[in-house]
């Protein structure tokens, strides 16, 4: 037994971390079903989440190897998690980066939310967001006039880059196709596609065309409406692309896809928002988490007191592929 333990510790920390992460992979399994059974703690369901967590755990491993060379096992390295995250705060990393690194390590070490030793991350405030805010160096290398059609495409559909790069001609859905797809998905017990179709038909009953966002962040699938002044232009390009062909063969790496996603969210909110004066603070609506809340959303932090239509926020969240209202408000909806 001693020899086996000695053999294990001959593996580097990187190798130990890799082995643990590999054992946590649950690609293709239903996270929703696992949540119902209370068994999501030690599993990673998305390839993109796996890659992100792996990268940040490797940062932690490098720190341990440099500052605590006597530590030879990932198990013993656990006690330095808080120390590492405190260092990252001191280095000036954003609250979003700190929260991401903490999430990776909490998942790796299965640190429960109610664990008193769990690191308390700094609060994420909208005013501190740097991504896609203001002029960036990369903007100098992206000609907006030359890429006008691509920009219109992003602003009308709310893509993440990974979906935009994989978009095919067959990913255009009209309302009739969504209805047919819903019947087929229910028949095949395809819960992901069933929910995508139901959400599209329920939240966007006035929209005729949708884009299928296949296996987006977290492995989710959704149907988001095509909106805005360039809607016909986008539909025409999709219809003129063969079903299995890429709609865009090349997407400039300097294209601020995330920023245009924000334009989409803002346009969508303005499209569906009702006048605040017509709303009643006492009237409750059902939210994504199953709780009833006022139909008037009152902003906090730097926009404290501003009132928004919660029903419109919910529609934007669905179109973006988020469940949480505050994500849509904090990261996407701007200049209202």
d(CA 167, CA 48): 17
Q: What is the mean pLDDT of residues 31-59?
A: 83
Positive or negative, the CA dihedral 60, 62, 65, 68 is negative
Per DSSP, the residues of 254-298 read T--HHHHHHHHHHHHHHHHPPPGGG--TT-EEE-TTS-EEESEEE
Report pLDDT for 135.
57
pLDDT digits (tens, 9 = 90+) for 171-183: 999 999 999 999 9
SS3 (DSSP) at 307: strand
pLDDT digits (tens, 9 = 90+) for 57-89: 999 999 999 999 999 999 999 999 999 999 998
When mean pLDDT is compared over 11-20, 111-120, 131-140, the highest value belongs to 11-20
Q: Is the pLDDT at 335 greater than 80, yes or no?
A: no
- Beta-sheet strands, E only, within 112-180: 172-174
| Contact yes or no for 296/285 (Cβ under 8 A) | no
Q: Is the pLDDT at 54 greater than 90, yes or no?
A: yes
Q: What is the mean pLDDT of residues 119-140?
A: 58
Report pLDDT for 82.
92
H helix and E strand count, the chain: 15, 7
When mean pLDDT is compared over 9-13, 41-45, 181-185, the highest value belongs to 181-185
Q: Is the pLDDT at 7 greater than 60, yes or no?
A: no
Please report which confidence band the pLDDT of residue 132 belongs to, taking 50, 70 and 90 as the band edges.
very low
176: nearest Cα among 201, 193, 203, 204 = 201
Q: Is the pLDDT at 133 greater than 80, yes or no?
A: no
Report pLDDT for 3.
53
| Contact yes or no for 248/274 (Cβ under 8 A) | no
pLDDT digits (tens, 9 = 90+) for 264-298: 999 999 999 999 999 998 999 988 888 899 999 88
The model's pTM is 0.66
294: nearest Cα among 276, 304, 281 = 281
Report pLDDT for 328.
63
d(CA 220, CA 36): 17
């Amino acid at each position: 037994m001693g020899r086996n333990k000695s053999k294990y510790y001959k593996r580097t920390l990187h190798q130990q971390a890799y082995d643990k992460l590999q054992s946590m992979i649950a690609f293709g399994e239903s996270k929703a079903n696992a949540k119902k059974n209370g068994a999501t703690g030690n599993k990673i369901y998305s390839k993109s989440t796996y890659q992100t967590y792996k990268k940040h755990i490797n940062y932690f491993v490098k720190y341990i190897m440099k500052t605590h060379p006597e530590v030879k096992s990932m198990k013993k390295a656990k006690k330095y998690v808080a120390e590492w995250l405190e260092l990252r705060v001191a280095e000036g990393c954003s609250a979003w980066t700190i929260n991401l690194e903490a999430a990776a390590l909490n998942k790796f070490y299965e640190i429960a939310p109610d664990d008193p030793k769990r690191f308390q991350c700094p609060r994420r405030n909208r005013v501190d967001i740097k991504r896609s805010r203001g002029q960036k160096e990369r903007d100098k290398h992206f000609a907006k006039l030359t890429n006008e059609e691509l920009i219109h495409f992003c602003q009308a559909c709310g893509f993440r880059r990974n979906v935009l790069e994989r978009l095919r001609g067959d990913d255009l859905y009209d309302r009739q196709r969504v209805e047919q797809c819903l019947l087929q998905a229910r028949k095949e017990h395809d819960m992901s596609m069933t929910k995508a179709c139901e959400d599209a038909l329920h939240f966007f009953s006035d929209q005729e065309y949708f884009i299928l966002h296949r296996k987006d962040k977290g492995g989710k699938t959704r149907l988001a409406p095509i909106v805005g002044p360039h809607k016909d232009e986008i539909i025409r390009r999709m219809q003129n692309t063969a079903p299995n062909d890429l709609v865009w063969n090349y997407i400039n790496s300097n294209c601020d896809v995330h920023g245009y996603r924000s334009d989409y969210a803002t346009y969508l909110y303005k499209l569906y928002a009702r006048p605040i004066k017509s709303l009643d603070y006492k009237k409750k609506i059902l939210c994504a988490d199953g709780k009833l809340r006022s139909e008037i959303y009152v902003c906090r932090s730097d926009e404290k007191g501003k009132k928004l239509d919660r029903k419109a926020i919910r529609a934007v969240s669905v179109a973006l592929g988020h469940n949480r209202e505050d994500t849509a408000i904090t990261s996407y909806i701007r200049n209202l």
